Structure 1
Amino acid sequence: MQDDTDRHFDTLDRDLGRIGTLEYATAYVARPMVGMGIALVFMALAGLAAAIFFGQQPINYVIVAAAVLGAYMAINIGANDVANNMGPAVGANALTMGGAIAIAAIFESAGALLAGGDVVSTISKGIIDPSGMGETNTFIWAMMAALMSSALWVNLATWVGAPVSTTHSVVGGVMGAGIAAAGMAAVNWPTMGAIAASWVISPVLGGIIAAAFLAFIKSRIIYQDDKIAAARRWVPVLVAIMAGAFAAYLALKGLKRIWKIDIGTALLIGLGIAVLSYLLSKPLIRRQSEGLENRNKSLKVLFGLPLVISAALLSFAHGANDVANAVGPLAAIVHATEFGDFAAKVAIPQWVMVIGALGISFGLFLFGPKLIRMVGSQITKLNPMRAYCVALSAAITVIVASWLGLPVSSTHIAVGGVFGVGFFREWHAERRRRQTRAARPSANRLAVEEQRRRKLVRRSHFMTIAAAWVITVPAAAVMSGVIFVILNSVAG
């Protein structure tokens, strides 16, 4: 009797174990489905908002469809682009994943709603001549195709795990639709040439600036006998540089509604904020450094808060600047549908801006962690000092690019900064090994295989990201051209 009872309980335990395993597997499989479901609900609500806003009968289904696509694009920007701002801070353990998502969602939305919605070029920085489109309907289908193709491309890149430029995706989409609608002559090729040049200039400049700051931190702080005293001297200077750079950047990008600022005025504003930040941060850093041990681990504490602030400012600036990628073509479609013509620039309605801001936040929350981990920890190992160099590089590179008049991508700059820090670490480690061998010829030499294993930048990620960057514009252009032909033939 006892044996039968034991066997019965053993069978029950096995069955319960199977059920528990099944439940766990179901929850694991369903997790991405939940995110997809929430995203679809948000897109449906965006379409409903457009239908309510344009409540006349019959409902304008073109605007409803464009609103759904704009929401889809915004979700993809949140999933892919925002990772570049938050990845370094998370990889350096200055922020948790949850904290990074919360800060990014707040500051991206604030940037989009407060500073991102004055006027947007519907032809995406003068890439095509809308007058060559002929009919208004042709222009509407071209913008629809650009929106759909760029969103699909960014979605595919996020799935593969490659941080790409949503700006360049929209550029490719607009170019492809323009060529399909009005031929090669419709494209402003000098502008496209400048954008192509920025593919190389943005990441290289970002990488060089980030590496230069890391070299400075190593020589002036890390390799000093009294690290804490050196940090008290130089960390306030670095904080001032960051504050000044961001102030100048936000003055250029975020104050367009109130005051048209030139680069010289923006730099003067940045200088004033830099001096003020230095005076405020110096006593704070001194107080924070009291009692810290004279070792590298203590330095991470001093860079933690400035890194978090820089990540928040990057998110605000990104929301102000890049939300137009999601809602620019949508605003163009709304304007063309309402007024029956197309203009080079249109004002963005507030409900369109809300769709863009909320979409970016939803995309970040639902799908952002994958790319945040990629940028923050899978390319190269980051600590607060290295991550701070990446953030500084992003702000300064945008200022330099604005001064030179180059259209740059925040994605390329930030990821280029991560690569710059990683390759500098490799070069620096190799230089120290050579110095050790020169001082001690008897020191063991590493085998070739071991030298490859000790590379500090993952080459597979480098090749994947570089390839994705190169093919973003042509891939989005081809997709957009095909989609335009289909839409135009169905509508016609």
Structure 2
Amino acid sequence: MPLPPSSLRKQALDKDLKKIVALEAVSHQGGLRLLPLGLSLVFLVLVWVLADWSTTAGTGVVVAAAVIGGYMALNIGANDVANNMAPAVGARALSMGGALLVAAIFEAGGALIAGADVVSTVSKGIIDPAAVGDRGTFVALMMAALLGAALWLNLATWLEAPVSTTHSIVGGVLGAGLAAAGMQAANWPVLGAIAASWVVSPMLGGIGAALMLVLLDQLILQADDRVAAARRWVPVVVAITAAAFAAYLIQKGLSKVWKPPLWVLLALVGGVFAATLGTVSRLVARQAPRLENTKKAVGTLFTAPLIVAAALLSFAHGANDVANAIGPLAAVVAAMQGVAGAKVAVPGWIMLIGAAGISVGLALFGPRMIRMVGEKITRLNPVRAFCVALSAAVTVLIASALGLPVSSTHIAVGAVFGVGLAREWHAHRGGHIRRQARLNRAARAAAAQEQAEDAADGWLPGLAPDPSEDPAVLRKAAKRRLVRRRHLLAIAAAWLITVPLSALIGALIFLVMVRLVPGL
């Protein structure tokens, strides 16, 4: 029976309404995707205004360089800063919003308080200004390096590849420098030291995180009374974290206004350690009676230390990697003021651009990379994530204190892989597998007893063999991989192409700039 015309009109109207709703949903999603882009453009306009207001020498060139530096800072926040908060988010210790807030505060603090020492290495140590020639060539070199590195980072972030911003800017400076003045312009000893740090830093981060995980596993997680062990050792771990942060802040952050002698420094750090130890001991003691004697329950005690360690890592990253955005910019400003070959102080407005750009980039574009590093390489819980964050933070802090522009990406990702490989090593020893087998046998024994009681006449057949007791199954389980190798290979490939590709882009941009603007 055919439908009446009114029913046909109603069906057609319903279809049209569904299409309109779907179109509105797509438009809304598209608008949300365009919102970060619009806000980033607003930030770059503000950078333009700030640079124009803050400089008088070579205003046009400085403003252009400042906008490029702000663009680079946005990309650092989007790609590199995500590694700092990824462990805390992956372990569910922080929500995404909380992680973004903590990172923004401490990244900006590290950049503004302790970032200047590393800036001189990036802007003056890779390419010798005296070998470049005239001022215009040097300025074009630094601007090309910044833009080339920023473009590669933008592409890598879009591809969800956690690459090194330090690799990017070093490659950009090197490529543009070679295009400008040939092989003699590069400071090869400095580049050799930086290249060595790229190999050493992920190894140090991974080894430190793995050893820390093994230590905490033996001291707390494998103890018969895990709660008592946690009451004894968690305050010590938190106190060590607080003492490390205090030592760096006093040595580097306050060095411009106060340089205490060694005994005063040790006394202050010791005071921070003692105060933290006492405070955390009371907090843990208050929480301990409500905890079960399980790894998961005891692991919740590491939530607060993990947040502290993640904040420490963000501070360290802000101090170390802000140089990647503002180092070449500081060199351009110095060159336009006629002091390109001398070591000059970094103006406050340049530091502000770097600090704000990193924070804004993280807030607008960082969540995707946070999920990548925190969830897709290996499974993290508060204990493992704490080991990752603290090991990476200490390594980056040491590098920043030495003025060595290491890759925080290499360190953080190396620490994540170190924790995952430590988990595999523990599984290969069979400890986890044997414990699971014992639990399976206990469950089977309880089930067998229950079935025996229900089958008193004895006709019930025996239970099937427990596969967890089969030696072949145990060997196969022992070889299981708790680290996703495909991510390791993809990340390693991205690391390998970053320097040559950013160098190539920087060189091409430099050649285009000097051809289009010969009087720069």
Q: TM-score, normalised by structure 2?
A: 0.86
The 1:197/1:468 distance shift into structure 2, 3 A limit, reads same
Report the equivalent of 2:54.
53
Contact 1:240 1:277 in 2 (8 A): yes
Q: Distance in 1 between matches of 2:262 and 2:153?
A: 32
Change beyond 3 A, Cα 1:422–1:398: same
Distance 1:263 1:32 in 2: 52
Q: Is 2:490 aligned against 1:464?
A: yes
Q: Structure 1's 248 and 125: CA in aligned 2 closer, same or farther, altered over 3 A? A: farther
Could you list the per-position Cα deviations for residues 71-101 of structure 1 after superposition, in whole angstroms to 9, with x for gaps in the alignment?
A: 1001001101111110000000000001111
Aligned to 1:488: 514
Counterpart mapping for 1:62-141 below 5 A: 62-117=61-116, 120-121=119-120, 123-124=122-123, 126-141=125-140
Distance 2:260 2:335 in 1: 30
> 1:40 — aligned with what?
41
For residue 370 of structure 1, the aligned residue among 365, 368, 371 is 368
Equivalent in the alignment of 2:141: 142
Distance 1:14 1:232, change over 3 A: same
Q: Give the Cα separation in 2 of the matches to 1:473 and 1:271.
A: 42
- 1:244 equivalent in alignment to 2:271: no
> In terms of mean alpha carbon deviation, does 339-348 or 359-368 score higher?
339-348
Pair 1:299 & 2:298 matched: yes
Residue type at the aligned position of 2:503: A
CA distance in 2, matches of 1:475, 1:277: 46
Partner secondary structure for residue 347 of structure 1: coil
Q: Which amino acid aligns with 2:29?
A: Y
In the alignment, the residues of structure 1 paired with residue 258 and residue 171 of structure 2 have an alpha-carbon distance, to the nearest angstrom, of: 31
Distance in 1 of aligned mates of 2:428 and 2:179 = 51
Q: 1:20 to 1:264 in 2, by over 3 A?
A: farther
- Structure 2 matches for 1:17-416, cutoff 5 A? 17-54=18-55, 60-117=59-116, 120-121=119-120, 123-124=122-123, 126-259=125-258, 270-337=269-336, 339-398=337-396, 401=399, 407-416=405-414
Q: Deviations over 1:104-136 (max 9, x none)?
A: 112222222333357831753611211111111
Structure 2 letter corresponding to 1:113 = L
Query: How many aligned positions are there?
Result: 488
Distance 2:19 2:297 in 1: 49
Q: Tell me the SS of whatever aligns to 2:322.
A: helix
Q: Looking at CA atoms only, which structure, 1 or 2, has the larger radius of gyration?
A: 2
Deviates more, 1:84-93 or 1:345-354: 345-354
The Cα offsets for residues 212-258 of structure 1, whole Å up to 9 and x where unpaired, read as: 11111111111111110010011111112222222333344423423
Flag structure 2 segments of 5+ consecutive residues without an equivalent: 439-465
Identity among equivalent positions (%) equals: 56
Residues 420-459 of structure 1 aligned to structure 2 (within 5 Å):
420-432=418-430, 436=434, 443=470, 445-446=472-473, 454-459=480-485
Cα RMSD, aligned residues only: 2.9
CA offset digits 1:378-398 (Å, max 9, x no partner): 111101000000112113323
The alpha-carbon distance between structure 1 residues 234 and 203, as it changes in their structure 2 partners (threshold 3 A), is same
Name the CA shift for 1:262/1:79 in 2 (closer, same or farther; >3 Å): farther
CA drift at 1:274: 2.8
* Corresponding residue SS for 2:119: strand
CA shift, 1:29, in A, is 3.2
CA contact (8 A) 1:252 1:262 kept: no
In 2 relative to 1, CA 322–305 (structure 1 residues): closer, same or farther, beyond 3 Å? Answer: same
Distance of 1:319 and 1:301 partners within structure 2: 28
In 2, Cα distance between equivalents of 1:20 and 1:65: 44
TM-score normalised over the length of structure 1: 0.91
